[in-house]
Structure 1
Amino acid sequence: MNPLNHVAIIMDGNGRWGIKHKKSRNAGHKAGLKVVEKIIKETIKNKIKYLTLYAFSTENWKRPKKEVNYLFSLLENFLINKIEALHKQKIKLKIIGFKKFPKKLNNLLIQSEKKTFQNKQLQINLALNYGSKTEIINAIKGIYKNKNKINEENFKKYLLTKNIPDPDILIRTGDTNRLSNFLLWQLAYSEIFFVKKLWPAFNEKDYNKIIKKYKNIKRNFGSI
């Protein structure tokens, strides 16, 4: 049975769910946040140490300003109202991305990382303003600037996921079969599960079904 240490999730389909059920993309984002809380609890139950959530990509700035502002306000409220509860559960929050947000949100993200830094129960990596191509280019620049030998180990030291094991599983909801510029280096040997359900419809049963399936997959990593 395969050990499971790290799950990464592309939470796709919030806007489409919102339009379908509430005639509002923002309603879908709000519903999706409730699913995040359920999945965090289930991740702890399964004794998984790392959970990486793709929350906002470098390409998401192209969305309407009103929707982007709503997403930021949702995140602000979540941090204000939930960070203490996460801290009590010994959950560590780490931001993976480029902190170019409004001042209030930036400060909340920094404070949340500092507050939870020592926690060991679960590490949640929140991919915010994240783009894997930019991450890889920056890593190459870092190696060149510091005149390091070019190899995999040195390259990993300049990634935003430094000291974080690569995901064992990638889950993408929303009935879309692509990676969307997410962890392109880190997902090289991850088991990928594309789910037809939109993110707000994804539930604990769906999650545990994927975990069970993963644990029974024969993983060869290039060998026989």
Structure 2
Amino acid sequence: MRIHDIALFTHRGAVRVRNEDAVFVGGTIFQEDLRDVVALRLTGSPHALLIADGMGGHPHGDLASHAALAFLTSQDGLLDGSAACETALHAANERLYELMDEPTRIGMGTTIAGLVLQETAMIAFNVGDSRAYRLSSGGLHKLSHEDVVLPPGEGIAPARTHGITQALGGSTFPLAIVPHVCVEPPLQVGDKVLLCTDGLTDALNDTEIETFLQLSASPAIIIQKLVRRAISAGTRDNISVVVGVCV
């Protein structure tokens, strides 16, 4: 039986007036600003870890992120496999457009990134620019694909433009999505995972992230160090982080 120690943190950050991020771990959606890192132990399988970033500049980003997580975690199929995950993401996108029945909600949207921890595999998925990483003996591997606008002449590394090319919802009329879903080997003892919104990755590059994940410390301590570093580096966005380790 696999055991995973998970820690999470979500906060509006130093500049924003409200938190439009949301995190799902261990059966609970976290969206209110946390004063401390929350640590949990998950036993058995499967388990879903999810993070969502309501789109800034659009109405009701906080509602969009919470609604997406609530819908996805109500779908039994999310845990069943990659095809079921993709189906659930399409359904979540449709659900957000259904919620735009009030004029003030039109255009609300959210990114999504998640991991499904199974006994024999790990499923990673995302839509938008929230990220998922895995750290193993082979180093840091980004599992997510960033749906962001590249400036002219660029084509290798995504620029931090905050212009995303797809999300759950996010338009005045329904648009289809193309979710990024991949199947990875299950976590081995000592392997770590990270989910985060761009409040972290706007401030830290992959080399810095890997340095923190390599620390022989608990997930809670690693999150504390990551968040402190991002704030000291001047991040201006909401910041949400999930770190897990297979023990």
What TM-score do the two structures reach when normalised by structure 1? Answer: 0.33
Q: Which has the larger radius of gyration?
A: 1
User: Greater relative contact order: 1 or 2 (C-alpha under 8 angstroms, separation 6 or more)?
Assistant: 1
Structure with the largest fraction of helix: 1
TM-score, normalised on structure 2? 0.31
Q: Which has the higher strand share?
A: 2
